[in-house]
Amino acid sequence: MAFVLEGVHHVGITVRDIQRSREWYSRMFDLESGPINHGIGEDLARSVQVPDAALSFSMITIGSTRIEFLEYHEPIGTDFDRRNCDVGAAHVCFEVSDIDAAYADLNKKGAVFSGPPVSIDEGALAGSRWAYLRDPDGIQLEIWQSPR
């Protein structure tokens, strides 16, 4: 190849209210948000493939990866309505050191989980544990603990 793929810079999530999302992720996961930036213009609209786009964006850093929150002011988008089985549905998975402690702490902070942590008992991922939850916009998230 003519270039080297060096890693994942960020995962972008379109949200209804950038400030609400920044506050929720900061409170739930004890993360600090970066500054809020704004974008508008022909180049932006062409690049994001949304005519007349105007948006705000901000990043939260987790280790060497970032989550970028994007709030479109123009045009206003529809609310998230994908099921996990729908093509294009995605989720962000956070690796945690202790899933039971993470589950208890996040529940105490008001997180809404699909159920308690699930254990994988067979195969290459045996010993791993995971649980799904949703953010304020209904975006699917996951916490994951690798075998110890």
Predicted confidence at residue 109, as pLDDT, reads: 97
Predicted confidence at residue 106, as pLDDT, reads: 98
pLDDT < 50: residue spans in the chain: none
Place of tokens 């970032």: 66
Please state the pTM of the whole predicted model: 0.91
Predicted confidence at residue 148, as pLDDT, reads: 81
List Cα–Cα distances, 12 to 6, 121, 125, 144, in angstroms: 18, 32, 27, 20
Contact (CB, 8 A) for 107 and 116: no
Predicted confidence at residue 127, as pLDDT, reads: 97
Predicted confidence at residue 110, as pLDDT, reads: 96
Q: Which two tokens stand for residue 130?
A: 């995971």
What is residue 89's three-state secondary structure? coil
